[in-house]
Structure 1
Amino acid sequence: MTGCAGGRLSVLLACLLLVACQSPREALEALAGEHRRTVEVLATADFPLVISAPVGALRPGALRVYLEGDGHAWATSSQPSLDPSPRRLLLAGLAMDDPLPSVYLARPCQFVSGERCAPALWTSERFSESVLLALEQALDQLKKRYGNQSFELVGYSGGGALALLLAGRRSDVLQVQTLAGNLSPAEWTRALQLTPLTGSLEPLHYRQYLARIAQRHLLGGDDRQVPGQVAAVYKGQLGVASCAQFVTLPGVGHEQGWAQAWQQWRGRPLGCSSERQ
């Protein structure tokens, strides 16, 4: 019995070591393989962007696109990371579990490098014009590939700010959902007493248009990385007549509790209705 137990322990330790040694790209490809999805790179003018999509054609209709968060932006509190790829594939997992037609879209320089990749792109300029242009080009390519006429954007953490910025600039984004979303980077830096994100754009600059976009923002009641006052400021700036819903989820943190919460909320309709909170 001791020998068998020792053998099983050795196999388990070897498996854990293999997982620990995987690069973020290898981990994403392994996860995609489990869900029968592809991982590929889209070329844009400035940055290559990694996507994961279902194998084969998607049925017509709005395409749900999941926008990744800021990833591993900082190695320490003062030292930017050399690789911003997320170490936990939280959003990728949610995208791949979604029964609706959906595509996972990573941020510039996540899972793939390019000549213009530099730490500013995932720190102070994470919501910059160049980042937005690359994401817009990716959406245009997806639209041409799948023939969809519109998008629903789902943004996690900093991906929430990008989802709102894209919705404020494009006429084909019909609705937005965010999970632990950074809805106002300007307020976020103020709330956490961080250095302002020089070179980044602010979703509230588009508030008049965003007020007419159907949107739901799921907030973690235990989220310390994006505090509730960020959403409160965004909500106040949009005004009482907006099409926005704000839902606080008790016991959900910035990275914990989202799998169950998203299963409960991802299929609920959005719109200007009595559901607004």
Structure 2
Amino acid sequence: MYSALNRIILAAGALLAISGCASNVNLKEISSGSSLHPEVLPSPTYNIQALVPAGTRYRTLRVYIEGDGHAWATRTQPSTDPTPHTSLMAQFAADDPAPAAYLARPCQFVVTGACKPALWTSERFGRASVDAMNSALNNLKSRYRTESFELVGYSGGAAIALILAGERDDVRQVQTIAGNVDPVTWTKLKNITPLLGSLSPLEYSARLAGIPQRHLIGQNDEVVPAEVVRAYSLQVQAKCLSTVVVPGASHDRGYADAWRAVRDLPVNCDMSGSPRSSMAEQPHFFEGRGHATADHHPARRQRTDLRGSRQP
């Protein structure tokens, strides 16, 4: 006899077959006028929807990784289609003048019979999902003869970006926006069921400690509060970790100007080589419109000070 949860999952699976790729996100429209175009990257498990650049070789490629999308229809019922209704990552990838690509998450935009709600709920950072994203990166690496990646993750895509960086040897930097970088702390703060079946970036702390990373935090983000980045940074103790608090930004709005200002800036590393956590000391603030300046070591109590931040 099936449990109530099994019945929900089976019903969701049946609806997946007829829901198709319905979404408010139009990747062709978003990428119009840019160097990117939509393409589905094959994978042994879950094919990945992407925006890929024209050209044949990019030594370094900035890859934007989608968030969790429309994972839940209600607080208790999983969505039948996790495709996002809006996409900061697709927009930012299309607007980026640097060589860039965009990767959706498994079963976003591309629905197959293998897609089950667990993949975008309890197992959203699980082995199957990570393997599919690794396969997508390998595809890009082979196609463009890429030597190194910079990963940019939004929301739950931040956890995926960090896990990928922890497993690969070709990720030179990670940046996150409103990132769920510590899912264990996040579930505790939100008082929700732990994500059983998911990996955690903290399982890769030793490797992540040596990877430069920048984390943009929305001042008004109630979905992924600043405490999540604080907990992550205290445990990872990265040598090159910068945080940027974006005044007025919520979970999905208010990052466009901030991102354009800092995306190409190098993460300033602690020249002494000693591990540090910027959230534990003095975070860097993005405070408005103007010209970007390089990140500073938090111990010097200096800030990235920019005036104005409009919503994307």
Shift of 1:154: 0.2
Conservation of the 8 A alpha-carbon contact between 2:205 and 2:236: yes
Q: Whole-Å Cα distance in 1 between the matches of residues 163 and 253 of structure 2? A: 26
Residue 47 (structure 1) aligned with residue 46 (structure 2): yes
Deviates more, 1:24-33 or 1:150-159: 24-33
**Cα distance, 1:77 vs. partner?**
0.8
Residues 40 and 25 (structure 1), Cα distance of their counterparts in 2 relative to 1, 3 Å cut: farther
Asked if residue 270 in structure 1 is aligned to residue 267 in structure 2, the reply is yes
Equivalent residues of 1:220, 1:249 under 8 A apart:
yes
How much does 1:36 deviate? Answer: 4.7
What's the secondary structure of 1:247's corresponding residue? strand
Tell me which residue corresponds to 1:30: 29
The Cα shift of 1:63 comes to: 0.6
| Correspondence 1:234 to 2:232 | yes
1:127 aligns with 2:148: no
Gapped regions of structure 1 (runs ≥ 5): 1-21
Q: Tell me which residue corresponds to 1:140.
A: 138
SS in 2 for 1:189: helix
Q: Which moved more, 1:27-36 or 1:221-230?
A: 27-36
Q: Give the secondary-structure state (helix, strand or coil) at the position aligned to 2:32.
A: helix
What is the total number of aligned residue pairs between the two structures? 254
**Structure richer in helix, relative to its length:** 1
Amino acid at match of 2:49: V
How far residue 115 of structure 1 moved from its aligned partner, in angstroms, is 2.2
Moved more, 36-45 or 111-120: 36-45
Of 73, 76, 97, which residue of structure 2 is paired with 1:75?
Answer: 73
Using the TM superposition, give the Cα deviation of residue 242 of structure 1 relative to its aligned residue in structure 2, in angstroms. Answer: 2.3
Percent of aligned pairs with the same amino acid: 48
CA drift of 1:57 comes to 3.2
SS of 1:24's equivalent in the other structure is coil
Read off the aligned partner of 1:150 and give its amino acid letter. Answer: S
Alignment-mate amino acid for residue 260 of structure 1: D
Q: Could you say which residue in structure 1 is the equivalent of 2:15?
A: none
CA distance in 2, matches of 1:26, 1:184: 27
Q: Which runs of 5+ in 2 are unaligned?
A: 1-20, 271-294, 299-312
Cα displacement string for residues 26-83 of structure 1 (whole angstroms, at most 9, x for unaligned residues): 712222234352111111111010000223335x321100000000000111111111
**Farther-moved stretch of structure 1 (49-58 vs 262-271):** 49-58
For residues 85 and 34 of structure 1, the distance between their equivalents in structure 2, rounded to whole angstroms, comes to 23
Return the letter of the residue paired with 1:246.
T
Give the secondary structure class of the aligned counterpart of 2:174: strand
What pairs up with 1:110-125 in 2 under 5 angstroms?
110-125=108-123
**Contact 1:184/1:231, CA 8 A, preserved across alignment:** yes
Give the TM-score taking structure 2 as reference length.
Answer: 0.78
**Contact 1:28/1:89, CA 8 A, preserved across alignment:** no
Using the size of structure 1 for normalisation, the TM-score is 0.88
What CA distance in whole angstroms lies between the structure 1 residues aligned with 2:199 and 2:63?
21
Partner of 1:12: none
Report runs of 4+ in structure 1 exceeding 3 Å deviation.
Answer: none
Alignment equivalent of 1:243, drawn from 216, 232, 240: 240
